[in-house]
Structure 1
Amino acid sequence: MSATTALWRDWRSWPEAVTTLWRRSLRFRTITITLLLTSFAIFVTSVIMALVIQNNLFESRRDEVLSDALRAVAEAQKRVDSAEVTDNPSGLRALWGDVQETIPRASSSSRVIALQIDEIPVGSGVRGFLTDPSLSEDAISAGLRERVVSFPDRQSWQSIAIPMGDGSVAPGIVVGQQLFLPGIGAFQVYIAYDLADAQQTLQFVQSTLWAAGFVLIAIVAGISWIVLRLVSKPIIEASETSARLAAGDLEVRLPVHGEDELATLAQSFNAMADSIESQIKELGELSLVQQRFVSDVSHELRTPLTTIRLAADMLNDQRDQFDATTSRTTELLHTQVQRFETLLSDLLEISRYDAGSVQLELEATSLAELAEDIIDQMRPLAEGRGSELRLVAPGGYSPVDMDARRVRRVLRNLIGNAIEHGEGHPIVITVDSNQYAVAVGVRDFGLGMSPADAERVFDRFWRADPSRQRTIGGTGLGLSIALGDAKLHGGTLAVWSELAVGTNFVLTIPRSHDHADGSSPVPLEPQENVADVNGMTQPIQLTELREVYFTDSIPTATGDDS
């Protein structure tokens, strides 16, 4: 049963395999179309030729039969006309017997039937005859008899099936015409001819045509395969070479043979590959120079910046002794020096990402507890902007290997942006987990972004509203670095936003790189609105959620922490 099932399964997979081969193989598609069109053309040609040969063979055999029957009946009529036995019954019988022998002898068929038309005089001894008992009078149709009687000076014929000696039937023709016997009257004379030899000839011709057609199809298939192989081989080589080039093998080239169009194509492809290789190398060198420049400048600026910061800190500590203008200037200097130092740190981090030299320092960390720590640190800043930070954590308690420092930096950046753009509304931080990943979502109900802005939110130094003044600070590199941190963990950082509705960022970190394609436990598009959040009487505390989480029975099959 298993073998039958496997065979049936393989049989059902054939159409899918053929469809895939048809879609992917130019050679298979071209040969299939060529064979189908060739087979159709040969089939139509063979059918037409068979019909023409059949018609011509039948017509030639029919003309031969009509001529033979006319000659035989004419010979019999000549004997009757030359005999002078009209008044002698015995002579009439002898003459009629001679007619019975003359017609089969003068024709090529021994199957003869003679039927009287007029009433035969009594005592004449003349009556109809039948030379072959296998052919009865019933084989002659009433329509043929009527035509023979109605047209005494003409031949009439009809196609019939003639019984053979072995019990089979063969196609045939029966020819009828009148024979006049003086003193007796007219007779209907029918001579039947079998066309078995013509049928055998036609079958031989048809079988030869079909055999020649199949041979011709095989020859066309072979020729098509050879020609198509000559033409498609360079195309396949070009396809494979372009795939290797797209995969990063810049040294690959197409072989050039001859001076035809395919050789021209190969030369053009090689020239294009040379140009791409040189441009990529040039861009790579420029990128290395740029990375080295940013890294060197950042390092070189740290020394004078340290001195400037020390001086700024000293002045800021003594700003109470200055007048109002100088005090405000000292405060601004201190703030901008701090921002400048942050910018240098971000530039150094970006240069490490570009150079591919970033390494994770993994340690088992609870994402829920990490989120709680960040919220506690940023709650004073949120309260200063009139926003309330609320934590919803149904999952994410069990430790997961992650770089805690980088995840903290991501959450700090996301929550800071939410505070900056939250317009004083509550900010909801959701932490959850499943069997594949842990995730945290940061939801604000502020300005929101258009779809075009949301697509560019992770670009470096890009701001949705350049005219908007930032009160928290920022270098324009935070989200770009956050996206890099998420990718380093094998996870994702996605954004959903809608104008005048708010924004939701979701950071997803897989438990294992083997299940990095699993769904995120925190939905990207939130379901709650600002009215639902404002309706809460008090913030949800992590300790309360943790108690509910551990006391309720939650199935471990879902992957939630337990």
Structure 2
Amino acid sequence: MSPVLGRLRPRGLRPRLVVAFVLVTVLGAAAAAWAGAGSAATALVDGAQERITGEVADRVGAAAPELAYPPDQDALDRLRRDVGPNTLVTYEDMRSADGTGPRLVTDALRGAVRERDRITVQRVAADGRPWLLVGVPLMITAPDGGRTPSGIEVYAVRDLSGVQDQVDALTRAAAGASALALVPAVLLALLAARGVLRPVRDLRDTARRLASGDLGARTAPQGADELAELTATVNEMAESVQTSMAGMERMRADARRFASDVSHELRTPLSTLTAVVEVLATASDRMEPDDRESVGLAVTETRRLVRLVEDLMEVSRFDAGSVRLRVEEFDAVGAVRDCLRARGWLDRVELEGVEGITLRADRRRLDVVVANLVGNALRHGEPPVRVRVTATPDEVRIEVTDDGPGLPEEVRPHVFDRFYKADTARARTPGSGLGLAIAAENARLHGGGITAENAGGGGARFVLRLPRDPGGQEKQEEGS
């Protein structure tokens, strides 16, 4: 299909239905009109041919008894005058002609008259006009009734322009009838398309409501055709999806409630356990080497369990929607430096940034985000780890990079998923698998985001973007 035809082709279902209906209707009307006009034209031409042929035959028959055989030139001239203008009469090598018509008589017509010995007609076009040629052989009737050719042949030429004018009028009438069928065809097509497309529009609206999250959207089936069956199928699909989504939502709610309940229930015994292991840790110097190693392992695993429970409680607050920001204005570079100093990372991390980059945010949550990003780089990357703080009039950008192997392609889409660990061999590492997920949630809570990519020279790059003022509202954190 050419590009022009492609652009002219109707795009929507409604235009295609209307165009198809109009084309079928108009073509049907045109075919009927042309068929009628053709039949009428054929009848007109055949009627005129029979009338002219009968008239010529009658005139020849009326003049034949007065002819002498063999005829002379005068007899041929009288016969020609009796037949009428545009007539040719021949006998052997004699001929009598009148007007311009005789020049139209063809050799084929003469041969047919002589061969068949009966009236023969032929239609020709000459000088831009239609003509009817009528050839009549004169027969001699014997006393016994036998008929033999006399050798006299009469050829009459008659103008059919009047008949052609009538045929042209019929053709114009057929074209006019086809054109008149266009307007009602369009109206009928619009009405038909409206009736046909109403169920389709209802299904479209239902599909849009389902896509927007209204799983209770349904369309009432109408009739018993294929569209009604499609509507019933869509309703069954929506019902199945709604049931599945409701079940999944219950499962997610149960899982969130379970994690929250378990975290709260573990908090108190873990506090006691932590105090015990800390006491053991202070006394480990007086223990045997094997006992000291066991105590160290208990302290490490207890601290890991405490961090896991704290992360689970934080995730539960995010899921419950109970997290609120405590917004304050502070220096971004100073906040990052304080985060690194509190964890003893200043000698392991290179910090780049100009003092005086102000940021309105929840400082405690920014500390959590930076700690998770830098801790992840220290655990899984290679030194040097760099933190670079920059700003634009609208946002603050904190970039954390390392010189490690970087993020594999299959890992990159999942780095912010909960409990995701790229290497199953790291299942016992200090991380809970929730750090980056919590960092991403905190960034979204501020109206920003975190992206993960590979640096140009190798290593992973995490970029935190935060608006310099997340709406100017100070929100109090609940349930911390």
Q: What range describes the TM-score normalised by the shorter chain of this pair?
A: 0.7 to 0.9
Cα distance in 2 between the residues matched to 1:324 and 1:336: 18
Tell me the amino acid that sits aligned with residue 403 of structure 2: F
Q: Indicate conservation of the 8 Å contact 2:361/2:469, yes or no.
A: no
1:322-366 deviations in whole A, cap 9, x for unaligned?
Answer: 333333333333333332222222111111111122223344555
Shift of 1:244: 1.7
Tell me the amino acid that sits aligned with residue 195 of structure 1: S
Structure 1 residues 53 and 372: CA distance shift in structure 2, 3 A: farther
- How high is the sequence identity, in percent, across the aligned residues? 26
Question: Pick from 193, 199, 218: which aligns with 1:253?
Answer: 218
Q: Indicate conservation of the 8 Å contact 2:132/2:159, yes or no.
A: yes
Tell me the amino acid that sits aligned with residue 465 of structure 1: D
Question: Pick from 439, 463, 474: which aligns with 1:482?
Answer: 439
Question: Pick from 97, 102, 109: which aligns with 2:82?
Answer: 102
Q: Indicate conservation of the 8 Å contact 1:148/1:178, yes or no.
A: no
Q: Please state if 1:416 is matched with 2:375.
A: yes
1:352 is matched with: 317
Question: Pick from 280, 302, 318: which aligns with 2:267?
Answer: 302
Cα distance in 1 between the residues matched to 2:407 and 2:208: 38
The TM-score normalised by the length of structure 2 is: 0.73
1:7-37 deviations in whole A, cap 9, x for unaligned?
Answer: xxxxxxxx98x87x824xx344333334345
Cα distance in 1 between the residues matched to 2:470 and 2:87: 98
Q: Please state if 1:112 is matched with 2:83.
A: no
1:430-449 equivalence runs, <5 A: 430-433=388-391, 437-449=395-407
1:492 is matched with: 449
Tell me the amino acid that sits aligned with residue 440 of structure 1: I
Q: Compare 259-268 and 192-201 and name the one that shifted more.
A: 259-268
Q: Indicate conservation of the 8 Å contact 1:402/1:489, yes or no.
A: yes
Q: Please state if 1:459 is matched with 2:417.
A: yes
Local SS of the residue matching 2:426:
coil
Tell me the amino acid that sits aligned with residue 305 of structure 1: L
1:402-461 deviations in whole A, cap 9, x for unaligned?
Answer: 433333322221221111122x34334444455665433333332334322222222211
Tell me the amino acid that sits aligned with residue 165 of structure 2: Q
Local SS of the residue matching 2:461:
strand
1:192 is matched with: 158
Cα distance in 2 between the residues matched to 1:238 and 1:358: 40
Question: Pick from 483, 503, 507: which aligns with 2:460?
Answer: 503
1:30-109 equivalence runs, <5 A: 30-40=17-27, 43=30, 54=41, 57-58=44-45, 61-62=48-49, 64-73=51-60, 75-76=62-63, 78-81=65-68, 92=74, 99=79, 101-104=81-84
Question: Pick from 286, 289, 308: which aligns with 1:343?
Answer: 308
Tell me the amino acid that sits aligned with residue 11 of structure 2: W
1:528 is matched with: none
Q: Indicate conservation of the 8 Å contact 2:80/2:89, yes or no.
A: no
Local SS of the residue matching 2:424:
coil
Cα distance in 1 between the residues matched to 2:360 and 2:19: 55
Structure 1 residues 347 and 35: CA distance shift in structure 2, 3 A: same
Q: Which has the higher contact order (CA 8 A, sep 6+)?
A: 2
Cα distance in 2 between the residues matched to 1:482 and 1:197: 95
Cα distance in 1 between the residues matched to 2:288 and 2:109: 143
Structure 1 residues 150 and 224: CA distance shift in structure 2, 3 A: closer
Size of the aligned set, in residue pairs, is 449
Tell me the amino acid that sits aligned with residue 296 of structure 1: D
Structure 1 residues 214 and 83: CA distance shift in structure 2, 3 A: same
Shift of 1:261: 6.1
Q: Indicate conservation of the 8 Å contact 1:117/1:149, yes or no.
A: no
Tell me the amino acid that sits aligned with residue 309 of structure 1: T
Shift of 1:476: 1.0
Cα distance in 2 between the residues matched to 1:343 and 1:382: 27
Question: Pick from 399, 403, 410: which aligns with 2:362?
Answer: 403
Q: Indicate conservation of the 8 Å contact 2:79/2:89, yes or no.
A: no
Local SS of the residue matching 2:416:
coil
Q: Indicate conservation of the 8 Å contact 2:30/2:174, yes or no.
A: no
Q: Indicate conservation of the 8 Å contact 1:149/1:178, yes or no.
A: no
Structure 1 residues 437 and 34: CA distance shift in structure 2, 3 A: farther
Structure 1 residues 46 and 152: CA distance shift in structure 2, 3 A: closer
Shift of 1:482: 1.7
Q: Please state if 1:22 is matched with 2:2.
A: no
Cα distance in 2 between the residues matched to 1:459 and 1:479: 8
Tell me the amino acid that sits aligned with residue 320 of structure 1: D
Cα distance in 2 between the residues matched to 1:176 and 1:255: 74
Tell me the amino acid that sits aligned with residue 452 of structure 2: V
Shift of 1:478: 0.7
Structure 1 residues 190 and 430: CA distance shift in structure 2, 3 A: farther
1:326 is matched with: 291
Q: Indicate conservation of the 8 Å contact 1:294/1:347, yes or no.
A: yes
Question: Pick from 131, 137, 141: which aligns with 1:173?
Answer: 131
Q: Indicate conservation of the 8 Å contact 2:396/2:468, yes or no.
A: yes
- RMSD over aligned CA atoms reads 4.6
Local SS of the residue matching 1:173:
strand
Q: Indicate conservation of the 8 Å contact 1:343/1:475, yes or no.
A: yes
Structure 1 residues 44 and 201: CA distance shift in structure 2, 3 A: closer
Shift of 1:256: 4.9
Local SS of the residue matching 1:452:
coil
1:60-103 deviations in whole A, cap 9, x for unaligned?
Answer: 5445444444444554555444899x69xxxx4xx788556522
Q: Which runs of 5+ in 1 are unaligned?
A: 1-14, 105-110, 121-125, 131-136, 163-168, 384-388, 515-562
Q: Indicate conservation of the 8 Å contact 2:86/2:97, yes or no.
A: no
Q: Which runs of 5+ in 2 are unaligned?
A: 1-5, 139-150, 472-480
Cα distance in 2 between the residues matched to 1:72 and 1:461: 115
Q: Indicate conservation of the 8 Å contact 1:427/1:443, yes or no.
A: yes
Shift of 1:46: 5.4
Cα distance in 2 between the residues matched to 1:96 and 1:174: 22
The TM-score normalised by the length of structure 1 is: 0.64
Cα distance in 2 between the residues matched to 1:177 and 1:210: 36
